[in-house]
A and B are shown apart, each in its own frame.
Chain A
Amino acid sequence: MSGELLVQSVVLGLLTGGVYALTASGLTLIFGIMRVVNVAHAAMIVMSAYLSWWLFQTLGLDPILSIAVVVPVFFALGALVHRVILRRLSGRDLTLTVLVTFGFAIILEGLQGTLFSSNFQAIKTSYSLNSFELFGIYVPLVRLLSGAVALGLLGGLYLVLGRTDLGRAIRATTQDPRTATLVGVNIERVTMLAFALGVSMAAAGGPLLGMLFAFYPSTHWLWIGKLLAIVVLGGLGSLRGTFVAAIVLGLAEQVMNVTISPDWAPLVFYGFLFGVLIVRPQGLFGTLARESL
């Protein structure tokens, strides 16, 4: 591989990794606070991608601007779903909640197939094919845009978690729910908001991933595999770990794409996933005890 091609794939990998980091952060946030893998996370991403595609087709709304529409919608839906369904399952066997999210994934997939047909879709804007050259490397404009937007939103998430009362309450509940209650955190409400926030992260990633990759209703099974590999490598529940893992895997995938074949690229994710679970089950930055895995 030539030096320029290597630099190019590193740049592309970093940018895609940024989008992965955004979507995987939602997954890890939800796991941190509920101790449950949201199996429907990628189905929510695809649903948001479809909504963005539909807004673009019917109203001509730019996919990046559509983030401002889909995020509030998904935040509200997330809060509602938590209030009506997930909250009732809290305190019961956690596997029941996992099964419910599995059900959500299936329902969303069926809805997408009914509403938008099962064909391939991709969000193709007027600038989708533009790219620019910088020091001899070519970067497609959508890659740069989606990477930059993802990093910006991720920065916003860190600010919310780090600087606001809600963020402090979420982090406290993640670390130790009982003590959080003692200091006056309303756990039910905080969990609901954290779940809605996590779902919003998925929604924000939808239009971005929809500009980068083609999607169809069952794509989410492929994407959830990638996201799970990222959050496991990062150490379930660790936002910092998730970010690093997303960048690492985004890079590894890109290098695999150009060196061996895009066909085998998903294997990078699964290889890391199984490797981490065998060698270091707590992941790179495992904050939660191994027990909770």
Chain B
Amino acid sequence: MTPMQSRRVAPLIALAVFALLPLVLREGFYLDLLLFTFMYAAMSVGWDIMGGYAGYVSLGHVGFFGLGSYVAGLLVVHFGIPVFLSAPFVGLLAAVVGAGLGWVSLRARGTSFVIVTLTFTYVVQLLALNLRGLTGGSSGLYLPLLNLPADLVILPFYYSMLGLLVVAILVSIAIRRSKFGLGLIAIREEEGKADGSGVNTSLYKILAFAISVSFAGAAGALHAQYLNYVDPDLAFELIITLNLIIMSLVGSRGTVWGPVLGAFILQPLSQYLIYITPSQIAGQVHLIALGVILVLVVMFMPDGIITTYGTWRRGRAKSRPADPERARLPGEAV
């Protein structure tokens, strides 16, 4: 098999393995770990469409995750619509809200986007906290349990998160191969020139952000039902945004598989770290560790594993042609 073929087949094999895994692996612990890895990978792939392709760093993805959690939770509680049905529409709603937010912050360049995305989270959190009649305020919202035996209840979530990840990857690949994706990368490289060469930069950025946050919205919906509960602290933990960013950076920003790789490295590591630290400080130690990783990665390996490895390998075999599918990172030679 040529490298090209093996790269096409490997993801399918991995997918088949993950799809069949619950048949042999019945331990909830591992399925739970994988489920969260799929969830973070899907959201991180989404984050990277904006943060990696277009180069606009969002600090507010958890706002859409929380929004998704609440909307899906309210739909279950008030209208009895199961999350597995509503999740795609919740994702769509997140995209619409994201487009609105993008309209506010993306007409200009740079800083206002950081500010608006960061603040958006607090706005939604404030609404969740204060609209007590609707959301239950700080005591949270309880979702009815799924009517399934205890050892099977994890499966619908496992498969929907896996499905979400597959969709996210397919969308990311499609964007990467399209004119739209090229436009986003042009925006990242030199926004003024992209504008000058006929890319409708505002529209592209708004669209990219809408697609980017839709996965966070849908993941939030599924997550709310998985815990059967949602409250303003749980739904808007900034550590979720932090995770998405780190996973994308570690794996490689601006690549399809970087965020996936990052999630499969960091999520198990995070869980292990929490497992080995005394429980009263585990949360704090986890925070510090993630913060330190973020700073170190930005300082010493901002290109991430995939791109750094690719550069190294091409350095060894200069004759081989560059991979056309990989997005270039800022500052990297053409």
Interface residues of A (CB under 8 A from B): 31, 35-37, 39, 85, 88-89, 92-96, 98-100, 102-107, 109-111, 113-114, 118, 217-218, 221-222, 224-225, 228-229, 232, 236, 263-264, 266-267, 270, 273-274, 277-278, 281, 290-293
Given known contacts A96-B298, A106-B287, A236-B111, A277 and B105 CB-to-CB distance under 8 angstroms: yes
7 contacts between A and B (CB under 8 A): A106-B287, A111-B284, A225-B118, A264-B130, A267-B123, A281-B108, A290-B108
Interface size class of B (residues with CB under 8 A): 35 or more
Point out the residue from B116, B118, B284 that lies within 8 Å of A274, measured CB to CB: B116
For the complex, give the distance between the alpha carbons of A89 and B231 in Å.
Answer: 38
A266→B287 contact, CB < 8 A: no
Q: Is the CB of A93 within 8 A of B299?
A: no
B122 at the interface (CB under 8 A from A): yes
Chain B 108-142, CB-CB to A under 8 Å as 1, else 0, gives: 11111011101101110010011000000000000
Is A94 within 8 A of B118, CB to CB? Answer: no
A24 to chain B, nearest CB (A): 13
CB distance from B228 to the nearest CB of A (A): 24
Say whether B291 faces chain A, with CB atoms less than 8 Å apart: yes
Q: Assuming A104-B291, A228-B119, A270-B122, is B112 touching A88 (CB within 8 A)?
A: no
- Alpha-carbon separation in the docked complex, A218 to B125 (Å): 14
Check A100/B119 contact, CB under 8 A, given A37-B114, A110-B288.
no
Which partner residue on chain A sits nearest B132 by CB separation?
A263
Given the known inter-chain contacts A106-B290, A228-B118, please indicate yes or no for A92 contacting B59, CB distance below 8 A: no
A225 to B283, CA, bound (A): 23
List chain A residues, Cβ under 8 A from B56: 95
Q: Answer whether residue B183 sits at the interface, using C-beta atoms and an 8 A cutoff.
A: no
Q: Give complex CA distance A96, B238 in Å.
A: 18
CA distance A106 to B284 in the complex (A): 9
Residue of A nearest to B245 (CB): A99
* Residues of A with C-beta under 8 A to B298: 89, 96, 99-100, 103
Given A232-B112, A236-B111, A264-B130, residue A85 in contact with residue B295 (CB < 8 A): yes
Interface SS of A by simple majority? helix
Beyond A107-B295, A263-B130, A270-B122, is A291–B287 a contact (Cβ under 8 Å)?
A: no
Partner of B288, one of A37, A114, A236: A114
Name the A residues within 8 Å of B283 (CB-CB): 113
Known: A109-B287, A266-B126. A104 touches B118 (CB 8 A): no
On whether A267 and B59 interact (CB within 8 A), knowing A102-B242, A277-B105, the answer reads no
B259 within 8 Å of A by Cβ? Answer: no
A residues in contact with B122, CB < 8 Å: 221-222, 225, 266, 270
B292 at the interface (CB under 8 A from A): yes
Residue of A nearest to B115 (CB): A228
- Hey, which chain B residues are within 8 Å of A278, CB to CB? 104
Taken together as a complex, chains A and B put the C-alpha atoms of A220 and B115 apart, in Å, by 15
Closest to B241 in A: A102
Contact A39 B287 (CB under 8 A): no
A102, B245: Cβ atoms under 8 Å? yes
In the complex, how many angstroms separate the beta carbon of A49 from the nearest chain B beta carbon?
18
The answer to whether A293 and B114 touch (CB under 8 A), given A93-B331, A99-B57, A270-B122, is no
Q: Which of B275-296 contact A (CB under 8 A)?
A: 281, 283-288, 290-292, 294-295
Say whether A277 contacts B242, CB under 8 Å. Answer: no
Contact B299 A100 (CB under 8 A): yes
Given A31, A36, A102, A103, which contacts B292 in the complex, CB threshold below 8 Å?
A103
When the two chains form their complex, are residues B291 and A103 in contact, meaning their CB atoms are under 8 A apart? yes
- The 10 lowest CB-CB distance pairs between A and B, nearest first, are A110-B287, A106-B291, A107-B291, A110-B288, A103-B294, A113-B284, A103-B295, A293-B108, A114-B284, A95-B57
Which of A39, A96, A113, A236 contacts B118 (CB under 8 A)? A39
> A291's closest neighbor in chain B, by CB?
B109
Once the chains bind, are B126 and A270 in contact (CB under 8 Å)? yes
- Are A95 and B299 CB-contacts (below 8 A) given A37-B111, A107-B292? no
Q: Scoring B residues 25 to 62 as 1 if CB is less than 8 Å from chain A, else 0, what string do you get?
A: 00000000000000000000000000000011101000
Closest chain B residue to A229 by CB distance?
B119
A63 to B248 Cα, complex, angstroms: 42
**Could you tell me the distance between the alpha carbons of A35 and B281 in the complex, rounded to whole angstroms?**
36
| B302: interface (CB < 8 Å) | yes
- CA gap between A134 and B19 in the complex, in Å: 73
A27→B201 CA distance, assembly (Å): 29
Q: Does B11 contact A (CB under 8 A)?
A: no
- Whether A106 contacts B105 by the Cβ 8 Å rule is no
Would A277 and B294 count as touching, CB distance under 8 A?
no
Residues of B close to A109: CB separation below 8 A:
287
Interface residues of B in 291-317 (CB under 8 A from A): 291-292, 294-295, 298-299, 302
With A37-B111, A113-B284 known as contacts, the answer to whether A99 contacts B126 (CB < 8 A) is: no
Name the B residues within 8 Å of A217 (CB-CB).
Answer: 284
Q: Do the beta carbons of B57 and A98 come within 8 Å of each other?
A: yes
| Closest A residue by C-beta to B188 | A93
Chain A residues with CB under 8 Å of B118's CB are: 39, 224-225, 228
Chain A residues lying within 8 Å of B129, measured Cβ to Cβ, are: 263
| A273-B115, A277-B105 as given contacts; A102 in contact with B288, CB under 8 Å | no
Chain B residues closer than 8 Å to A107, beta-carbon distance: 287-288, 291-292, 295
Decide yes or no whether B156 CB sits under 8 A from chain A: no
CB contacts (< 8 Å) of B285 on chain A: these are: 110, 114
Q: Which residue in A92, A113, A266, A291 is a CB contact (below 8 Å) of B108?
A: A291
Q: Which of A85, A94, A102 has the most CB of B within 10 A?
A: A102
Contacts of B126 in A (CB 8 A): 264, 266-267, 270
A40 and chain B: residue at smallest CB distance: B291
Q: In the complex, what residue of chain A is closest to B242 when comparing beta carbons?
A: A106
